[in-house]
Amino acid sequence: MPANSEPVAHLGDVPKGMTRRIEVDGEAVLLCNVDGAIYAIEDRCTHDGGELDQGHLEECLIMCPRHGAFFDVRTGAAVTLPAILPVRTYPVRIEGDQIFVEG
């Protein structure tokens, strides 16, 4: 994914402990706010392709609502079964109150 020159969201769009699904270059990306830090991961469970934006963010872990796999949004690592493969992560850049996702 190439660097996105347009902001994808504002900080106020993703409150602490919450997520927001966006699209960047046609790809579904999930923004996650963990204690004020914004992380971006692919919005797709590596176990069965379910959308993670329907899951619950608990501290730095997002739970897939379909089968309960957890992923660390900071690293993309699958931390519980049934998922074993990580989700893709994307670099995030903040300028003022604007969020940019880079490839």
Q: Is the whole-model pTM more than 0.85?
A: yes
Would you state the pLDDT for residue 63? 96
Q: Is residue 1 part of a domain?
A: no
Q: Is residue 4 part of a domain?
A: no
Q: Between 2 and 59, name the one with better pLDDT.
A: 59
Q: Indicate the SS3 state at residue 89.
A: strand
Reported as a pLDDT band with limits 50, 70 and 90, residue 103 is low
Mean pLDDT of the region 63-73: 95
Q: Is residue 2 part of a domain?
A: no
Domain count, the chain: 1
Q: Is residue 13 part of a domain?
A: yes
Q: Is the pLDDT of residue 70 over 90?
A: yes
Domain with 97 in it: what CATH number?
Answer: 2.102.10.10
Q: Is residue 46 part of a domain?
A: yes
- Residue span of the structural domain in which 68 resides: 9-101
Q: Is residue 33 part of a domain?
A: yes
How far apart are alpha carbons 102 and 65 in whole angstroms?
A: 27
Q: Is residue 3 part of a domain?
A: no
